[in-house]
Amino acid sequence: MTLSANLTRCVLTFYHEMMNNGISLVYLGEFNHEITKMFTSMAEDEMERKNEERSTKKKVYHVMVETLQNMNKHSDGISDDKVGKGLFIIGQKDEAYYVLTSNKILNSKIPMLQAMIEKINDSSIAELKQMYMKQIKEGKLSDKGGAGLGLIDIARKTGEKYQYQFLPIDEKYCFFILKVEVKAGEAPQKKNSESKIKEVTKN
């Protein structure tokens, strides 16, 4: 591969975007148990160096594990060896950590997924706890496991609304982008920030 002027500009732009947004880790590729362990270990080491509170470290760890597992189980961009693929980013900005993930899903899944996220965003911490317990007792598990428990549990423990987008790829697939924030040193409270939504638009 030639180090062209276009590639150099791309690398420089990417570097500035990472610095401006407090991004400390980016990964694009397949996700499995070993990758999850590596990322959580690197994030823990980084938070140790910053002397973060134990409660913050636990919440960030939990969010990372849940979102990575969710990508591995529910991505529709599955490789031949049944491993999920996607994009994972972790950063820190404005006194909050954030985890951003993106993976390929079927367009047919958008209505159900969007309805689930909006219901979670509109619920209080107490309501999320009730939803979590109800889902454990009554939820129907998919063939890949899970019943929305991961999404409910993350919101319950962080107290933050999800930010998300569905970016169209073609008539069959889209990229599902999800951002989760963890406020440093704060206990979960009723969520009151606005979620950022962009519907899929087809030309």
Nearest of 119, 117, 106 to residue 197 by alpha carbon: 117
Cβ neighbours for 182, distance < 8 A, ≥ 6 positions apart: 56, 59, 60, 63, 96, 97, 98, 99, 158, 160
**What is the 8-class DSSP label of residue 1?**
-
At 80 the pLDDT is 53
Average pLDDT over residues 28-49: 83
Q: What is the edge-to-edge ordering of all strands in the sheet holding 173-183?
A: 23-31, 84-93, 96-106, 173-183, 163-168
At 185 the pLDDT is 67
Q: What share of the chain has pLDDT > 90, as a percent?
A: 33
Note the pLDDT tens digit of each residue in 89-135. Answer: 999 988 899 999 998 899 999 999 999 999 999 999 999 999 888 88
Instruction: Please state, in angstroms and rounded to a whole number, the distance separating the CA atoms of residues 24 and 10.
Output: 18
State whether residue 27 is helix, strand or coil. Answer: strand
pLDDT at 179 over 90: yes
Structural domains in the chain, sorted by start? 5-183 (3.30.565.10)
Is-contact 111 80, C-beta < 8 A?
no
Average pLDDT over residues 74-88: 67
DSSP notation for 65-121: HHHHHHHHHH-S-B-TTS-EEEEEEEEEETTEEEEEEEEEEEGGGHHHHHHHHHHHH
pLDDT at 195 over 50: no
pLDDT at 47 over 90: no
Quote the distance between the C-alpha of residue 95 and its chain's center: 18
Mean pLDDT over all residues of the chain? 81
At 194 the pLDDT is 41
Note the pLDDT tens digit of each residue in 127-177. Answer: 999 988 888 887 654 444 454 788 999 999 899 999 999 999 999 999 999
